[in-house]
Structure 1
């Protein structure tokens, strides 16, 4: 993300590794199931190999998805970038953010992760969400700080006396 002149980054991050634990559990569970089937159908080596391959794919996929997602809050914009090969960039001006809702279920509270859902002046179908972030309250505080900074900035041309 290229910053505008005078723009300051207030928050920058990726989804937390803890947000991938459910994905890990599903992947390892699938690996155990397929490994057990192959263990009884073919033999020990096939079962262990299947479990190892599926576990490795699960871990690598999780790391790639995590690193391929980047969240940025500046004093002017909210920015979400997803993808490595194909890319999706979602950006909105901070002045369009009307509300920030922090959501954490029981599982997320235990893992200290959550989601920040930004209500913007855009269409309701336009979802602007930071998913699986550690310390979601830090994101809410960064948006609040950005709004307070914006209130104190003087627009160009104002505050000067013309000749």
Structure 2
């Protein structure tokens, strides 16, 4: 899902658009896999006729419920949380039913910092903290993929937005 063109200003162009790291989908994927295994087991052991034949239908209903709640919904939430860097601003958007967002002009950015835990270092992801000269303070973007490249890109774009020469 790209950043909507109607939200871009005149002459503004998207530099990079990101979602949180795909590691957020690992646990929901494992839960769906376990539900599939459970479905197969129930279908294999329940009789085709008799008193317990209704278990097949119950297993399918339970499987569909687990996949909807623990598979489809987390994927949609992950897909709808975007971090966009343009040549003029940083834009965050999140939410499925209720959308929220925040834009920070690059010229107002005071500080760009990142944090990485051990697993984040393995995944080359991290938390990015962008401090702006505003009442809202710091924007926290969690689990940004390729955190070092994004941090370097932001430093460069902020310098350009302020009209500073590259060092």
Q: Same fold judged by TM-score > 0.5?
A: yes
2:10 maps to 5
Aligned counterparts, 1:74-113, within 5 A = 74-113=86-125
The alpha carbon displacement at 1:79 in A equals 0.4
- Maintained 8 Å contact 2:108/2:132: yes
Q: Hey, what does 2:153 align to over in structure 1?
A: 142
Stretch of structure 1 that moved more, 45-54 or 108-117: 45-54
User: Once the 2 structures are TM-superposed, how far is the Cα of residue 122 of structure 1 from its aligned partner?
Assistant: 2.6
RMSD: 3.2
2: CA distance, partners of 1:85 / 1:52: 21
Q: Which of 133, 141, 162 is residue 144 of structure 2 equivalent to?
A: 133
Matches within 5 A, 1:111-122: 111-122=123-134
Aligned length: 146
Question: What is the Cα deviation at residue 47 of structure 1?
Answer: 6.8
Task: State the TM-score, normalizing by the size of structure 2.
Answer: 0.68
Instruction: Structure 1: give runs of 5+ residues left out of the alignment.
Output: 36-41, 154-163
- What is the match of residue 23 of structure 2? 18
